[in-house]
């Protein structure tokens, strides 16, 4: 017999389910694309080199284009980036792939032009745009051009010192003798004088020079010399040891210092200043007096006009008083007339 077929299933067919990727929750207050720019210096001299540093961060994995507008007073010398490629020009254009949350850095080397005038300011700013149409810009970076520092020449204060050579005894010159000094009496080889014997108190001749082992001639004075004379009465003449004195350079006479005339202008300038201040005070006082006189004249004219008006007012008062008195008189007459008629 045939097997019975299974009963049909009453369960509804399963519906296909779609997988939904998780949504990224943006951080509140955080831009999807950020860029910052800074300079290595705040001041630069003409011809000096420095660099700009750009840092980029994206909240998504995107392709970005960077345009850095460099000031015309600067010239770009090179660009270095951690990724992507850059072209040197003005502006500097770079293309790169940014991973989510991964920062990138660009270093732009520049140099101030030599003809830039000191005191000028250079302003540069970078603009960034990604393929999701997000844009960002950096803060303007200002670098001031300053004047080069003056070159100071170093003066050598340590001049070489030349030491004076000391005279040796062999090269010293004897001191000159004056005309009043007695001339020495030369002695012969035998000890006898060539001329008359020396008297007491006279100085004998200088001893001869004897060469020494060093080659310099030094005097060798004897202790005493015996003068040849009569055998019974020999006399001993003492010969003094020759002395030498150093030759001193001639001293230059001191020159009289002539005082320079006083060319100071402090006194006349101070007097002139006080005089100008006095003139200014006089002019100011004169103006105040004239203003006061003009005010008094205006017040006097006003007082005269008020006096005239007061006279007119008094005249009107008198006229009015006379009219009132006349009307009172007429009223009394009319009353008396009416009384008379009423009595009749």
Mean pLDDT by 10 residues, the chain (344 residues): 58 52 48 91 93 92 92 93 90 92 93 91 92 89 88 59 50 52 46 46 48 48 48 54 60 62 66 90 94 92 91 92 92 90 81
The Cβ-side half-sphere exposure at 292, using a 13 Å CA radius, reads 6
Give burial (CB, 10 Å; 0-12/13-18/19+) of 113: middle
Q: How far apart are CA 78 and CA 75, in angstroms?
A: 9
pLDDT of residue 331: 92
**Residue 335 maps to a domain:** yes
Q: Which two tokens stand for residue 125?
A: 């700013």
Give the residue from 100, 118, 145 where a domain finishes: 145
**Residue 120 maps to a domain:** yes
**Residue 166 maps to a domain:** no
pLDDT of residue 51: 95
**Residue 184 maps to a domain:** no
pLDDT of residue 107: 95
CA 228 to chain centre: 93
pLDDT of residue 149: 74
What's the CATH code of the domain at 69?
2.60.40.740
pLDDT of residue 288: 93
Q: Are 207 and 220 in contact (CB under 8 A)?
A: yes
Q: How far apart are CA 227 and CA 234, in angstroms?
A: 7
**Residue 141 maps to a domain:** yes
**Residue 104 maps to a domain:** yes
The total number of structural domains in the chain stands at 2
Region label for 133, one of left (φ > 0), alpha (ψ between -120 and 50) or beta (otherwise): left
pLDDT of residue 226: 46
**Residue 304 maps to a domain:** yes
Give the residue from 145, 179, 200 where a domain finishes: 145
CA-based angle 28:33:38, to the nearest 5?
Answer: 115
What is the span of the domain harbouring residue 298? 274-344
**Residue 91 maps to a domain:** yes
Q: How far apart are CA 70 and CA 127, in angstroms?
A: 11
- Backbone φ, ψ for residue 93 (5° rounding): -110, 130
Q: How far is CA 270 from CA 263, 267, 284, in A?
A: 15, 5, 21
Give the residue from 145, 174, 203 where a domain finishes: 145
pLDDT of residue 273: 87
């Amino acid at each position: 017999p045939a097997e019975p077929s299974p009963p049909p299933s009453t369960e509804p067919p399963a519906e296909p389910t779609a997988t939904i990727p998780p949504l990224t929750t943006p951080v509140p207050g955080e831009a999807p694309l950020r860029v910052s720019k800074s300079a290595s210096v705040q001041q630069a001299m003409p011809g000096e080199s420095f660099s700009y540093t750009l840092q980029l961060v994206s909240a998504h994995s995107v392709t970005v284009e960077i345009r850095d507008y460099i000031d015309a007073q600067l010239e770009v010398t090179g660009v270095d980036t951690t990724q992507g490629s850059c072209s040197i020009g003005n502006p500097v254009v770079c293309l790169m792939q940014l991973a989510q949350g991964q920062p990138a850095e660009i270093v732009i080397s520049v140099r101030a032009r030599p003809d830039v005038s000191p005191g000028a300011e250079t302003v540069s700013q970078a603009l960034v745009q990604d393929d999701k149409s997000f844009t960002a810009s950096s803060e303007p970076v200002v670098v001031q051009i300053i004047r080069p520092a003056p070159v100071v020449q170093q003066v050598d204060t340590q001049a070489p010192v030349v030491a004076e050579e000391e005279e040796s005894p062999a090269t010293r010159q004897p001191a000159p003798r004056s005309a009043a000094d007695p001339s020495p009496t030369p002695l012969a080889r035998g000890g006898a004088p060539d001329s008359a014997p020396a008297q007491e108190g006279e100085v004998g001749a200088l001893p001869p020079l004897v060469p020494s082992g060093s080659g310099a001639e030094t005097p060798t004075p004897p202790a005493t010399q015996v003068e040849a004379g009569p055998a019974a009465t020999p006399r001993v003449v003492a010969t003094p040891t020759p002395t030498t004195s150093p030759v001193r350079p001639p001293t230059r006479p001191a020159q009289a210092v002539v005082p320079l005339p006083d060319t100071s202008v402090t006194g006349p300038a101070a007097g002139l200043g006080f005089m100008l201040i006095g003139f200014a005070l006089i002019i100011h006082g004169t103006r105040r007096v004239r203003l006061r006189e003009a005010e008094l004249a205006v017040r006097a004219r006003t007082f005269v006009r008020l006096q005239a008006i007061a006279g007119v007012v008094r005249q009107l008062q008198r006229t009015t008083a006379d009219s009132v008195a006349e009307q009172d008189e007429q009223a009394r007459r009319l009353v008396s007339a009416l009384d008379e008629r009423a009595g009749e």
